[in-house]
């Protein structure tokens, strides 16, 4: 449904006034009502006002307690400040880079431990704010002012930042609901960092619709996620592909004849990167028939969705383009290519006013039935012996092994000849020598990497994707963590 132009905090406040005792968020075993959420924001508004934060300020929030930082976001909106969420796993240098690039006036966190990292200030607990609670108000015209500073994933380079007003965010939510054919959000289990735009937008969407949220901590075990998914009052969740893979590993001894583990989960979106086709099929059969793969492009939003029986017949595709989105395939010169030929993917969000075609680094093709296939990124092509090698195919070879949690492949220029040097980083536990033997059987000879790194834990960004930027820096550094394959 469309929303009238209002400060988003005002929409949340109106729900709290209409039904203050309604269940809003459960976190750490505690249930919080709409009034609880709003009262916490009210106390923090006075705190931020006393800190001298006012109209036009840009504030970074580093959330450990996600609910507490959502309350801080609402409080900052009441003083007409824009908010950028930063990931608590970022280094001090990365926080400083974000401060400069996004033009932040200050960075705050709810966790005292964050005070040790750069110039982060700690905002108080609710009990420290109680003395000055009053009514929270939002200034006229604030709906047109900046609400959020959103960040790109920074997978391949330094993140880019863009500002969005309250009105633009509400219009985006309404449009997303329309093109994804979502009449009303479902009670939702939320996992992941608020610095990942998809997670943050889900919180905002659910809060303004008055839909209950079960919030899991940033760090959790597979059993914690399983217990949350087993609660029948919650019906939707968005998960990174690697976490869906973790769930499948958790249920590895379950027989398909037993049926799906979570039949009540009506929507399980795979978000934040490509999911392996065999993982998607297994999730459809073993976890829930409500699983779906959502393909998005920066500057366009959701482009296509693969769901339902299409998962079994077109598992290697990302579905048909959504109504309101046009996708075409172009060659290097920008000329359209026929069905079946691989080229640059160009998408246009036709629902936008004055929409312009957006061409990203994604490569792919459209088959005769209109299904879209993503072959990888242009930067994921390496050259060896004058033959192009698609590194996404290499990654799929490796992910076919059950003991691999995740992997990423990339190429660096080889200073000793015309061929690229292919690097492969794998997240897995076990003996490197034993795993290398299995890898040599799984990877076709023409795609085998030159260098390999196997570790039980690799650097990830806010969207839970392996950080290509960090791994490339390791490969180019003096420390020899990658070894010959």
pLDDT digits (tens, 9 = 90+) for 276-292: 999 999 999 999 999 99
What are the CA-CA distances from residue 149 to residues 170, 228, 347, 360, 419 (Å)?
Answer: 15, 30, 24, 21, 41
Radius of gyration of the chain (CA): 23
Average pLDDT over residues 28-34: 94
**pLDDT for res 129:** 56
Tokens, residue 69: 């930082």
Q: pLDDT > 90: what percent of the chain? A: 58
- In angstroms, the CA 65 to CA 48 distance is 18
What mean pLDDT is predicted for residues 192-214? Answer: 93
Q: How far apart are CA 194 and CA 69, in angstroms?
A: 9
CA distance 246 to 407: 14
Among the residue ranges 242-246, 324-328, 377-381, 453-457, the one predicted with the least confidence is 377-381
- What is d(CA 261, CA 246) in angstroms, rounded to the nearest whole number? 14
Please state the pTM of the whole predicted model.
0.89
Burial label, 135 (beta-carbon count in 10 A; 0-12, 13-18, 19+): exposed
Q: Is the pLDDT of residue 416 over 80?
A: no
| Bigger pLDDT: 413 vs 292 | 292
Residue 48's closest CA among 115, 116, 105, 117?
A: 105
Query: How far is 426 from 264, CA to CA, in rounded Å?
Result: 34
395: exposed, middle or buried (C-beta count within 10 Å: 0-12, 13-18, 19+)?
A: buried
Q: Cα separations (Å) of 441 from 287, 356, 357, 398, 483?
A: 30, 46, 43, 10, 18
Residue 10 vs residues 141, 168, 175: alpha-carbon distances, Å: 12, 15, 20
CB contact at 8 A, 58 and 149: yes
Confidence tier at 477 by pLDDT (50, 70, 90): confident
- Taking only the tens place, the pLDDT of each residue in 308-357 is 999 999 999 999 999 889 999 999 899 999 999 999 999 998 877 777 88
Q: How many angstroms separate the CA atoms of 374 and 152, rounded?
A: 20
Tokens of 213: 């949220």
Q: Which residue has the higher pLDDT, 221 or 2?
A: 221
For residues 55, 57, 61, 65, the Cα torsion angle rounded to the nearest 10 degrees is -10
């Amino acid at each position: 449904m469309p929303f009238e132009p209002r400060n988003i905090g005002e929409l949340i406040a109106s729900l709290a006034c209409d039904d203050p005792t309604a269940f809003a968020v459960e976190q750490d075993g505690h249930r919080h009502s709409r009034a609880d959420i709003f009262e916490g924001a009210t106390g923090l508004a006075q705190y931020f006002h006393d800190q001298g934060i006012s109209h036009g300020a840009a504030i970074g929030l580093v959330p450990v307690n996600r609910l507490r930082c959502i309350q801080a976001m609402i409080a900052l909106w009441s003083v007409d400040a824009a908010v950028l969420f930063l990931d608590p796993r970022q280094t001090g240098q990365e926080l400083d880079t974000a401060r400069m690039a996004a033009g932040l006036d200050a960075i705050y966190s709810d966790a005292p431990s964050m005070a040790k990292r750069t110039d982060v200030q700690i905002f108080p607990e609710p009990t420290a704010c109680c003395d000055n609670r009053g009514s929270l108000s939002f200034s006229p015209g604030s709906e047109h002012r900046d609400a959020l500073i959103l960040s790109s994933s920074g997978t391949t380079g330094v993140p880019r930042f863009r500002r969005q007003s309250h009105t633009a965010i509400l219009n985006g939510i309404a449009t997303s609901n329309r093109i994804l054919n979502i009449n009303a959000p479902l009670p939702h289990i939320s996992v992941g960092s608020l610095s990942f735009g998809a997670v943050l937008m889900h919180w905002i969407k659910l809060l303004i619709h008055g839909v209950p949220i079960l919030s899991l901590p940033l760090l959790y075990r597979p059993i914690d996620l399983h217990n949350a998914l087993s609660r029948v009052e919650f019906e939707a969740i968005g998960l990174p592909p690697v976490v869906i893979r973790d769930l499948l590993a958790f249920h590895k001894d379950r027989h398909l004849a037993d049926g799906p583990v979570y039949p009540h989960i009506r929507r399980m979106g795979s978000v934040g990167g490509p999911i392996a086709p065999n993982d998607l099929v297994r999730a459809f059969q073993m976890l829930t028939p409500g699983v779906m793969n959502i393909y998005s492009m920066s500057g366009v939003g959701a482009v296509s969705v693969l769901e339902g029986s299409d998962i079994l017949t077109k598992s290697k595709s990302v579905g048909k383009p959504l109504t309101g989105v046009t996708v075409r395939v172009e060659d290097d010169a920008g000329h359209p290519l026929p069905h079946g030929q691989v080229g640059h993917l160009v998408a246009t969000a036709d629902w936008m006013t004055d929409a312009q075609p957006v061409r990203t680094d994604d490569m792919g093709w459209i088959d005769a039935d209109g299904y879209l296939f993503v072959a990888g990124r242009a930067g994921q092509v390496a050259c060896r012996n004058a033959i192009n090698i698609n590194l996404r195919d290499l990654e799929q070879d490796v992910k076919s092994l059950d003991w691999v949690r995740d992997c990423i492949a990339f190429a660096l220029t080889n200073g000793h000849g015309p061929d690229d040097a292919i690097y492969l980083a794998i997240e897995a536990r076990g003996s490197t020598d034993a795993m290398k033997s299995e890898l040599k059987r799984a990877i076709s000879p023409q795609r085998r990497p030159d260098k390999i790194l196997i570790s039980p834990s690799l650097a990830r960004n806010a969207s839970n994707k392996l950080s290509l930027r960090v791994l490339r820096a390791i490969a180019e550094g003096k420390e020899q963590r990658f070894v010959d394959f």
